[in-house]
């Protein structure tokens, strides 16, 4: 069976819709709309085996690294979809892969590569949150929630990186990489287009899309704005289930028309010639007053559920 490989950041991963497992910090609807994830819908429509290799907060260098890792697995007839992300993101993929190797040494039975997805790359949201907590005096000894949440790397601990080292890294990112996003975006677009040409030569269909598409499909904020329960009005710019379905229809249309590079102009042309036949065969749109699925609730398994009024 031919495969569909998906690479990129949180928009490629379907963040807050394509939820892997229930977590206390996720929205009240949890994994209720996982089947609406655009990658899953595209794979199902085109009868392809989905291999999702994106990561929330991921950098373009991480995406390129993962494509190169997987390239020996590609076969003729496979399709690769690459989402370009913000140029100022800094890749931690070498550290992430080293953690994986260390983990394999410690547990020879371990076969999964999910350990490589346990923390994000360094991006503007990451950096702003770090300095917000630091300025508020929230990063104290024994109370480093941000560091323990985002910097999970065993490599950093093994090499005795101190809090001052991490702060220095954040300052470097803000001063150097954070203000050069446009320069890096142009640089990465050129690299992805070159990589696209190379993969075409081995018979792999490669499609690249720019981050200018992020704002072209319904976000979660707009989807939940009419929700009567104010606590359930999640403010998030990632795509809603409906946004995922709309993007899936767009992706299928571009693949069928053999359009290999997608930007804002591509979406504008698409919206003028919208193909209703495709979207009618995808997931139905979800109205904002949907009924919450509570079938997964288990307070013994998920003790943080207790007294969560936003879920119940």
- Name the residue ranges covered by the structural domains of the chain: 3-88+180-305, 117-177
User: How far is 135 from 25, CA to CA, in rounded Å?
Assistant: 23
**Residue 207 vs residues 66, 91, 211: alpha-carbon distances, Å:** 16, 22, 13
More confident residue, 310 or 257: 257
- pLDDT at position 296 is 83
Orientation angle between helical segments 241-256 and 264-272, nearest 10 degrees? 90
- pLDDT at position 21 is 82
243 neighbors 221 (Cβ within 8 angstroms): no
- Provide the whole-model pTM: 0.89
- pLDDT at position 272 is 85
- pLDDT at position 134 is 64
Question: Looking at residues 255-281, what average pLDDT do you find?
Answer: 91
Question: Looking at residues 73-91, what average pLDDT do you find?
Answer: 93
- What Rg, from alpha-carbon coordinates, does the chain have? 20
93 neighbors 121 (Cβ within 8 angstroms): yes
CB within 8 A of 17, min separation 6: which ones?
33, 34, 36, 37, 238, 239, 240, 241, 244
Longest dimension (CA), the chain: 58
The tens digit of pLDDT for each residue in 34-50 reads 999 999 999 999 999 99
The pLDDT of residue 154 is above 90: no
Question: Looking at residues 228-235, what average pLDDT do you find?
Answer: 91
The pLDDT of residue 233 is above 50: yes
Fold for 3-88+180-305, please state it: Rossmann fold (3.40.50)
User: How far is 192 from 59, CA to CA, in rounded Å?
Assistant: 13
**Residue 62 vs residues 165, 168, 208, 280: alpha-carbon distances, Å:** 22, 22, 15, 35
- What is the side-by-side strand order in the sheet with 261-262? 49-52, 3-7, 79-83, 205-209, 261-262
Question: Looking at residues 274-287, what average pLDDT do you find?
Answer: 90
Torsion-angle region of residue 264: left (phi > 0), alpha (psi -120 to 50) or beta?
alpha
CA 190 from centroid of its chain's CA atoms: 22
User: How far is 114 from 44, CA to CA, in rounded Å?
Assistant: 23
User: How far is 176 from 173, CA to CA, in rounded Å?
Assistant: 5
For residue 58, report the phi and psi dihedrals to the nearest 5 degrees: -70, 150
The full length of the chain comes to 312
Query: What is the number of other CB atoms lying within 10 angstroms of the CB of residue 19?
Result: 18
């Amino acid at each position: 069976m031919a495969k569909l490989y998906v690479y990129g950041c949180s928009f490629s991963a379907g963040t807050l819709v394509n939820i892997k497992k229930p977590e206390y910090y996720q929205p009240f609807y949890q994994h209720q709309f996982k089947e609406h994830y655009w990658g899953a819908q595209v794979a199902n429509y085109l009868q392809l085996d989905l291999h999702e290799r994106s990561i929330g907060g991921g950098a373009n260098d991480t995406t390129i690294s993962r494509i190169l890792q997987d390239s020996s697995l590609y076969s003729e007839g496979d399709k690769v979809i690459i989402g370009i992300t913000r140029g100022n993101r800094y890749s931690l993929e070498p550290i992430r892969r080293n953690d994986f190797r260390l983990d394999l040494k410690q547990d020879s039975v371990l076969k999964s590569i999910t350990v490589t997805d346990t923390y994000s790359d360094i991006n503007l949201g990451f950096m702003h949150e770090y300095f917000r907590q630091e300025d508020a005096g929230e990063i104290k000894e024994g109370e480093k929630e941000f560091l323990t949440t985002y910097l999970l790397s065993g490599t950093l601990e093994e090499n005795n990186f101190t809090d001052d080292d991490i702060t220095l890294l954040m300052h470097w990112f803000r001063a150097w990489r954070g203000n050069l996003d446009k320069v890096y975006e142009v640089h990465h677009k050129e690299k992805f287009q070159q990589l696209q040409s190379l993969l075409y030569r081995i018979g792999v269909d490669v499609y690249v899309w720019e981050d200018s598409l992020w704002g072209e499909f319904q976000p979660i904020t707009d989807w939940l704005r009419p929700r009567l329960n104010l606590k359930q009005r999640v403010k998030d710019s990632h795509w809603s289930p409906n946004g995922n379905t709309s993007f899936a229809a767009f992706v299928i249309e571009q693949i069928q028309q053999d359009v290999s590079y997608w930007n804002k102009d591509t979406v504008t042309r698409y919206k003028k010639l919208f193909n209703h036949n495709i979207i009618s065969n995808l997931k139905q749109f979800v109205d904002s007053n949907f009924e919450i699925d509570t079938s997964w609730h288990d307070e013994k398994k998920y003790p943080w559920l207790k007294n969560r009024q936003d879920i119940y």
